[in-house]
Amino acid sequence: MILVAGGTGRLGTLVVARLAARGLDVRVITRDPARAHHLGDDATEVVEGDVRDRASIESAMRGITTVVSAVQGFAGPGRVTPASVDRDGNANLVESAAAAGADVVLLSVVGSSADSPMELFRAKYAAEEHLRASSARWTIVRATAFVELWADIMTKPIVFGRGDNPINFVSVQDVAAVVERAVIDVRLRGMTLEIGGPENITFNELAATLQHLRGRPTKIRHVPRALLRAMSPLNRQPRAALAMDTIDMTFDAIAARDAYADLPMTDIASALDRAGEHQYRG
């Protein structure tokens, strides 16, 4: 049985479906079982638990061979934070998995490091280090920004900052395929896989593409960096937006694909098309 933490989320839902399609039993852990309804029969079992509370995840480990962590605490319900979910919650999952003798597949981010300006990237790096130091057998999957998430965020043509910094975007569908591979192929244990998409594009270019697909060629508006700076002390979102507007967010995805070269690499236009963006056209 595979345990998927974050199985109710954007990526986790796809991972659960892929594992179920292979005939594997999947247990999903969620803070609210109502959020797992859309999984239907893909989830063999749904259990309630919060990765911030180790006791609440201990019983979910029964009979588990591999744990997938697709949780994130950057945004979302329940007063989550990167420190409490991505760093400490993942540490709880790793400790519980190690005690149960289960392997761990951990979702992280391309660019994670101890000194990143992004709180989330530091928390992910801490989780990676905790996992590498544990007795569990592990695979880390680092991904770039999911283009489908950003299409959902950018329902209006508003760009945070100047929007002229190139960023690597990947299709969440391609990430799900790599995570599935990481679960089933134990030769990938002890490896950190990185996945991105074929293009580095700016938020201005993404906004223009979305406006074109949606048939609404209106002018792109910007939230100025000065406003983001002013909001930063109070809120992690503008801090992250400033970082994404200024630090190197590019990635050479081709060079990273050696360990899974047979898996799909979807371009941005195809990913948005598959996500149904063309349906917005009036």
Ligand X SMILES: NC(=O)c1ccc[n+]([C@@H]2O[C@H](COP(=O)([O-])OP(=O)(O)OC[C@H]3O[C@@H](n4cnc5c(N)ncnc54)[C@H](OP(=O)(O)O)[C@@H]3O)[C@@H](O)[C@H]2O)c1
Q: CB of residue 71 vs ligand X: minimum separation in angstroms?
A: 4
Q: Which tokens sit at 87?
A: 């760093």
The reply to whether 126 sits near ligand X by the rule CB under 6 A is: no
The reply to whether 151 sits near ligand X by the rule CB under 6 A is: no
Nearer to ligand X, 5 or 220 (CB): 5
Q: CB of residue 33 vs ligand X: minimum separation in angstroms?
A: 8
Nearer to ligand X, 88 or 242 (CB): 88
The reply to whether 118 sits near ligand X by the rule CB under 6 A is: no
The reply to whether 66 sits near ligand X by the rule CB under 6 A is: no
Nearer to ligand X, 6 or 161 (CB): 6
By CB under 6 A, the residues from 240 to 259 that bind ligand X are none
Q: How far apart are the C-alpha atoms of 25 and 19, rounded to whole Å? A: 8
* CA 75 to centroid of chain Cα atoms: 12
Cβ-based neighbour number of residue 258 at 10 Å: 8
DSSP state at residue 38: G
Q: Give the one residue of 121, 125, 138, 146 binding ligand X; rule: CB under 6 A.
A: 146
Nearer to ligand X, 12 or 161 (CB): 12
- What SS3 class is residue 163? coil
Cβ density class 18-30: b for 16+ within 10 Å, e for less: bbbeeebebbbbb
Nearer to ligand X, 77 or 217 (CB): 77
Dihedral sign for Cα 236, 106, 147, 199, please.
positive
Site string for ligand X, 77-106 (x = CB under 6 A): ---x----x---x-----------------
Q: Which tokens sit at 14?
A: 């796809």
Q: Give the one residue of 27, 67, 73, 213 binding ligand X; rule: CB under 6 A.
A: 73
Q: Give the one residue of 1, 17, 47, 149 binding ligand X; rule: CB under 6 A.
A: 149
Cβ density class 74-110: b for 16+ within 10 Å, e for less: beeeeebbbebbbbbbbbbbbbbbbebebbbbbbbbb
Strands of the 45-48 sheet, one edge to the other: 45-48, 26-30, 2-5, 66-69, 103-109, 138-143, 191-195
The helix or strand, by DSSP H or E, that contains position 91, with its residue range, turns out to be helix 90-100
Nearer to ligand X, 76 or 215 (CB): 76
The reply to whether 15 sits near ligand X by the rule CB under 6 A is: no
Q: CB of residue 206 vs ligand X: minimum separation in angstroms?
A: 13
Q: Give the one residue of 64, 109, 176, 206 binding ligand X; rule: CB under 6 A.
A: 109
Looking at beta carbons, which residue is closest to ligand X?
9
> Would you tell me which residues interact with ligand X (CB under 6 A)?
5-6, 8-12, 30-32, 35, 50-52, 70-73, 76, 80, 85, 89, 107, 109, 143, 145-146, 149
